Amino acid sequence: MKRIAVLQAGGPTPVLNASLASFVEKARSSGHLLFIQGGYQGLADGHFIEASDTFLAWICNNAHVPGACLGAGRFQLKEKTFNLCIQQLQQHRIDTLVGIGGNGTMAALHKLSEHARQMEMDLQIVGIPKTVDNDISCTDHAPGFGSAARYVATSTRDMSRDLLAMKGFEKVRVLETMGRHTGWLAAASGLLREYDEEGPHFIGIPEEVIDPEHLTETVGDALAKFGSALIVVSEGVLWERERPVARAQVNGRHILGGVSQQIAHYLEKQLGVDGIRSELFGMNQRSFSMAVSDIDRAEARAVGETAARLMNDGETDFMVSIRRQDSYTYSTTMEAVPIQEVFVQGEQTMPKQWIHHPENYHHWLRPLVGEGMPSYPRPL
């Protein structure tokens, strides 16, 4: 019987466990399932869990739970670690390695596949995409992003109403989304904006360097016209010394966060406005159960199921990709794309024409965030 090892890696999303659960439901009759705890580090260290019926049932019962049943994390795989991973896979007589993750995971899967080939090991490789940043290439979008975008878009509109109410007291706010190298989430903050009075009045994304003068002018204009201004930026936006702002360093990786505070301080000085609040959208972007988009959850399940089906068909070295058939009625199909291609293409940034024509981006985005956000009347 085929021995299938499954891992999750990268940061969690609110629908990551839905992909795992639906893969497991579909694949449990296809072979003997093993689970690797703690991503690639867990693989290198040999943290394998043999799947009992109780464990399989536990995975399936977690389909609606945020986080990652198998543990997530951000380990950079080094050359010598790849060999350790292959040794572990050989020792546990693994035929198929399934990885649920983002860009880093797809790159690691691709390299593991190459190492296995060099070591003449027959290893089937299956990639299941997940991200809140939407920076995976070779797919229309990836599960996790729709829910994160729903959270950011709704929060921004609601906080904008709060700010308009408080403008006699607090005039400018700078909000910060996730997004290390791409602006998909920050740009989603404008999705529900219906009136000029509502924010965001300025969106800063990593794809384009912020011009401080243009920012000051835009915020000053909004202040003059509406009495308040709301700014949204990605954590990875380039500011001042044109490097992203890091607030900590863990395992050699810079944890971003804090650029919103720098921008708030800058605007206080430039505009002579006191007490500008900066705020991170924070962990809820990747975990808040109440903002999960129905379509995002359904697609998270569908990529898991499709991965199991294609695996059973004997496909290898692929990632499941979501292909949009029709953007007016929003229909999609799931297909395999070469994982090498995902690796080669690297991070998917926002297309220029969507940055400069947000209405086109919003048209593309709207079906992903789901329903249930009623219109608000124009503010006073």
Active site residue 133: yes
Nearer to its own copies, 272 or 377 (CB): 377
Tokens 């990786």 appear where? 253
Which positions lie near its own copies, rule CB under 8 A?
A: 8, 11-12, 14, 37-39, 41-42, 58, 61-62, 64-69, 71-75, 154-155, 158-159, 161-170, 173, 248-251, 255, 274-275, 277, 279-280, 282-284, 286-291, 373-374, 376-377, 379-380
Q: Where are the beta strands (DSSP E) in 133-260?
A: 172-177, 202-204, 229-234, 246-250, 253-256
**Phi-psi label, residue 276: left if phi above 0, alpha if psi -120 to 50, beta otherwise:** beta
Terminal Cα distance for the chain, rounded = 68
Q: Residue 158 or residue 240: which is nearer to its own copies going by CB?
A: 158
Minimum Å distance from CB 328 to its own copies?
27
Site of tokens 């007589």: 93
Sequence-ordered list of residues with C-beta below 8 angstroms from that of 87, at least 6 positions apart, any chain: none
Which candidate in 95, 133, 211, 326 is catalytic? 133
Choose between 13 and 306: whose C-beta lies nearer to its own copies.
13
The rounded radius of gyration (Å) of the Cα atoms in the chain is 22
- Kindly tell me which of 27 and 72 has the beta carbon lying closer to its own copies: 72
| Structure-token pair, residue 310 | 């294609």
Closest distance to its own copies from the beta carbon of 284 (Å):
6
CA–CA distance, 221 with 224 (Å, rounded to integer): 5
Name residues whose C-beta falls within 8 Å of residue 184's C-beta, 6 or more positions apart in sequence: 133, 134, 135, 145, 149, 350
Kindly tell me which of 19 and 155 has the beta carbon lying closer to its own copies.
155
Minimum CB separation of residue 162 from its own copies in Å reads 4
Instruction: Report the C-alpha gap between 353 and 355 in whole angstroms.
Output: 5
Three-class SS state of 173:
strand
Q: Within 13 Å of residue 354, how many CA atoms lie on the same side as its CB?
A: 20
Q: Measured from the CB atom, is 166 or 209 closer to its own copies?
A: 166
The span from the CA of 56 to the CA of 150, in Å, is: 30
- How far apart are alpha carbons 265 and 277 in whole angstroms? 9
DSSP 119: T
CA 46 to chain centre: 27
Q: Which of residues 288 and 354 has its CB atom nearest to its own copies in the complex?
A: 288
At its nearest, how many Å lie between its own copies and the CB of residue 259? 16
Minimum separation from the CB atom of position 33 to its own copies (A): 15
Task: Determine the angle formed by the axes of helices 259-271 and 212-226, rounding to 10 degrees.
Answer: 70
Nearest approach in angstroms of CB 315 to its own copies is 28
Nearest to 84 by CA among 125, 40, 38, 44: 44
**Nearest-approach distance from CB 250 to its own copies, in angstroms:** 4
Tell me which residues are annotated as active site.
133
